[in-house]
Amino acid sequence: MADSTALRARDTIYAGGEWRAAVSGATREILDPADARAFAVVAEGDEKDTDLAVAAARRAFDEGPWPRTPVTERAALLRRVADLLVRDREELGLLEAQDAGKTVEEGRVDIDCVADAFRYFADLVAAEAPGRVVDAGSPDIHSVVVHEPVGVCALITPWNYPLLQASWKIAPALAAGNTFVVKPSEITPMTTVALIGLLTEAGLPAGVANIVTGPGHTVGARMAEHPDVDLVSFTGGLVSGTKVAQAAAPTVKKVALELGGKNPNVVFADACATEEGFDTAVDQALNAAFIHSGQVCSAGARLIVEESVRDRFVAELARRAEKIRLGRGTEDGVECGPLVSAQQREKVESYVDSALKAGAVLRCGGKRPEPAPERPASGYFYEPTVLDRCHREMRVVREEVFGPVLTVETFRSEDEAVALANDTEYGLAGGVWTADPGRARRVAGRLRHGTVWINDFHPYLPQAEWGGFGKSGTGRELGPAGLAEYRETKHVYQNLAPAPVRWFRG
């Protein structure tokens, strides 16, 4: 652990246009998961800080100019933010890598995607019609359906993709004319703090954007229950998401939840009929499971492979997984970084231990790696792990591990493949690998998952909605539906020739 006296605590709470420390004076060290050393100290907010930020957002919505700012001006500001993100790409990509433990290359890609999200929502609102005219059957009646901002939005984001997930909420919230308070994860807050600075630099009025750094059980809980919050959007785990929904229920505010996933990657034998097809399917299975050390809600953590190719496929998968280079994300040649915290690594270890006791066969990994110059012993590293001969009764198959662990199940028929893929309480994403276009469409149509990739895994489009079935959540992000989450609908009915109704004679 670094000597925290060498680090100056930053005022990372932003409310009403002012940066400040926590009311209590509390702070938190932010650790680099590659070596467990503190590289920053931030303000540790609580309920009092949350109330101040919500009050600032409330005033800015009720009295400030932003909700009434023309759409073209709001869109122009979002585009300026995108330009600033591009300008600061290297700095922000490095900070994201250090904060979350991913590689710098992944961090840079994240910043590109964040800029894309701001541009997309700018273009979307700028191109919209002012309202949908409803035919009332009379020339004397003007009837139109319009969309208005929800109000004050509470945005709670996860630790695995700090800035990307924040942008999926902040960009549409601002495009729709809302004000907001954002709470980043207490362990990876740095790039979200930086984004608030860029919003200010772009000219966003004071009070529209507010941030409270602090833990979920105080800041997040208060945001969800606060009577002056009109919408709460949460991305994270199922248990926490359930608590958010319960806290929001008494005030009947809008709730958008993007929760976990236990995502199947189904490989049919015909996808592996050629050497090129086989190599591609194996490569994408590695990508699906091990990008960002598996700390991805849409990770293809369940490999469901046809029995006739299982032995060869798993052998090659394990061989290549053993060659993945672990280390600090800023080091050249590193392909996979550490887990985000000691607690997360211990959770992963417990899942692997339980799987082995339940009969799973370890093909590779399953332990902490040997220390190396690019991989300090103090870092939270864990080897990419392949567990073969898995079945539905195992916790590692049913529950979200959020680590570099891939389980292998097998099937013999298309119906069995679909049944296995849908045998989960989640329904976020899944993949299908086949050379048969008809089979691809049939299987994709039968999968109960919000996103289905065919002969690919992990890409997303800003224009397409992102959400899930089952316990993967109730909200939608990205696309027109993502913007709709941050709006209310109003029907304006205007009688151009009013006349008495004469129901009551008087």
SS3 state at 218: helix
Residues 6+ apart with CB under 8 A from 101: 32, 33, 34, 293, 329, 337, 338, 339, 340, 380
* Max CA pair span of the chain: 92
Angle at 334 between CA 333 and CA 337, to 5 degrees: 170
Across the strands, what pairs with 145?
Answer: 132, 491
Question: CA 302, CA 393: separation in Å to the nearest integer?
Answer: 13
Q: How many residues does the chain have?
A: 506
Residues acting as catalytic residues: 258, 297
Task: Please provide residue 441's backbone torsions phi and psi, each rounded to the nearest 5 degrees.
Answer: -70, -40
Question: CA 432, CA 417: separation in Å to the nearest integer?
Answer: 10
Listed residue (224, 167, 221) closest to 194, CA to CA: 167
SS3 state at 141: strand
Task: Please provide residue 178's backbone torsions phi and psi, each rounded to the nearest 5 degrees.
Answer: -85, 170
Strand order in the sheet with 361-364: 361-364, 385-388, 405-411, 302-306, 264-267, 429-433, 451-454
Q: Is the dihedral of CA 419, 284, 314, 395 positive or negative?
A: negative
Across the strands, what pairs with 156?
Answer: 183, 234
Question: CA 295, CA 384: separation in Å to the nearest integer?
Answer: 12
Which tokens in the block code for residue 321? 């997984």
Report whether 387 contacts 349 (CB < 8 A).
Answer: no
Residues 6+ apart with CB under 8 A from 250: 225
Residue corresponding to tokens 């040997």 = 370
